[in-house]
Amino acid sequence: MAQFQTLLDPTLHSPEVKDFERSLTRRVVGQDRAIRRLARIYQVYKAGLAVAGRPLANLLFLGPTGSGKTRLVEAAGEVLFGSDHSILKIDCAEFQHSHEIAKLIGSPPGYLGHRETQPLITQEALEAHYTDTIKLSFVLFDEIEKASDALWHLLLGILDKATLTLGDNRRVDFSHSIIFLTSNLGSHEVSRLMRGGMGFSADSQMDDEDLDHKIYRVAVEAARRRFSPEFMNRIDKVIVFRSLRKEHLEKILDIELAKVQERIIAAAPGSQFVFKCTRSARDLLLREGTDLKSGARHLKRAIERHLVFPLSNLMATKQVCLGDVITVDAAPGLSKLVFMREEQGALVGASAASVTQTALVPVSTGHAVTQALAFKVSAD
């Protein structure tokens, strides 16, 4: 009797994991590989196939500053638990000396502060954001290269056995945690290889695949020079974040403009309005916010300086009212924005969702603004 076999597709993800991956892609720009890796880990967790007695995954994120390493972890917390504060974040710059480890795990018996101060890492802190369906936590050790050797030694037990003993002998279980470690090691070398980032032209002799291999090798070699073999051997995956390109910054600009609109909607009642950026205004923000060394952070600072500060002045001086539609354009020949209120543009009774969507519709520089009210606000 002939046997029939069905070919299976192990690359498919469950609908929940697909939604998780799509949501991360909307929030984090230009780092698709890191997102796919995190989605695979989440799929293993949902399937119940995680290795017992170890963290779900130990991930080391390398790459230039402002490329999205910390943002990806925060975005994962937003998607699963509704807030970027749902992650347990340890800023390793605060633990550059051995005695500061007591802030992390508490003072041992016989030492000053024993049982008087709450350690930063506790079982309660890990489980604070558990839900009925998701028993999972994200632990982020940010800028791990700045930590003292004492913290690295502490991490060896967490990364290997998923346990940590506190100063009062309580044990913390990390078997339902994903451990993230971020570092800027090798970022200077990566930036040199990524001359094609931020709108410049990369070496024409090197295709994207070769460039990826070179970037990965340079970053990993920098990490191996800094960290011990015992430490690196406990890392499940090293993920290298590439520098952001111009097209990535344009997408990030859309995300950040939407956040500004959300801040306006959340402002005091009676002052909510809608703003629309012209193509010229967007180009100005991108031009002022592009910096090879700072990545997306410099763009966010440019938005605050050129857009948020002037808008706050308009709100404080009652030049904008509830439901107004404000067109934001670039002043010809000047590095500043011009703010104009449209006649008969009030959105009375509009919902926050529709207001946010409207604010992201770009208008051409030739769009007719019928009311001759122009508020030329300097970005200084």
Closest CA to 306 of 322, 329, 326: 329
Give the residue with greater pLDDT, 304 vs 363: 304
Tokens 């011009």, residue located: 338
pLDDT averaged over every residue in the chain: 83
Q: Which two tokens stand for residue 369?
A: 């603004």
Give the residue with greater pLDDT, 243 vs 233: 233
Cβ-based burial of 311 (10 A; exposed 0-12, middle 13-18, buried ≥19): buried
pLDDT, one tens digit per residue, over 305-331 is: 999 999 999 999 989 888 899 999 998
SS3 of residue 54 by DSSP: coil
Q: How far apart are CA 201 and CA 197, in angstroms?
A: 8
Q: How far apart are CA 54 and CA 44, in angstroms?
A: 13
pLDDT at 364: 34
pLDDT, one tens digit per residue, over 268-311 is: 777 789 999 999 999 999 999 887 667 788 899 999 999 999 99
The letter for the amino acid at 269 is: P
With pLDDT > 90 as the criterion, what percentage of the chain qualifies? 52
pLDDT at 109: 64
Q: Which helix (H) or strand (E) holds 77?
A: helix 69-81
Say yes or no to pLDDT of 39 above 90. yes
Which domains does the chain possess?
Answer: 15-240 (3.40.50.300), 246-376 (1.10.8.60)
Q: How far apart are CA 337 and CA 375, in angstroms?
A: 9
Closest CA to 56 of 183, 238, 236, 241: 236
Task: Please give the model's pTM, rounded to 2 decimal places.
Answer: 0.81
Average pLDDT estimate for 236-247: 87
Query: For the residues of 241-290, what is the DSSP string, one character each?
Result: PPPP-HHHHHHHHHHHHHHHHHHHHTSSTT---EEEEBHHHHHHHHHHT-
Say yes or no to pLDDT of 20 above 90. yes
Average pLDDT estimate for 177-192: 86
| Degrees, nearest 5: CA angle 133-51-183 | 90
Say yes or no to pLDDT of 192 above 90. no
pLDDT, one tens digit per residue, over 208-231 is: 667 777 888 888 899 999 999 999
Q: Which two tokens stand for residue 4?
A: 């029939």
User: Which band of pLDDT confidence, cut at 50, 70 and 90, is reported for residue 333?
Assistant: confident
Average pLDDT estimate for 73-94: 94
pLDDT, one tens digit per residue, over 43-70 is: 999 999 999 999 999 999 998 888 899 9
Phi then psi for residue 186, to 5 deg, are: 80, 5
Tokens 């060896």, residue located: 156
Q: How far apart are CA 184 and CA 193, in angstroms?
A: 15
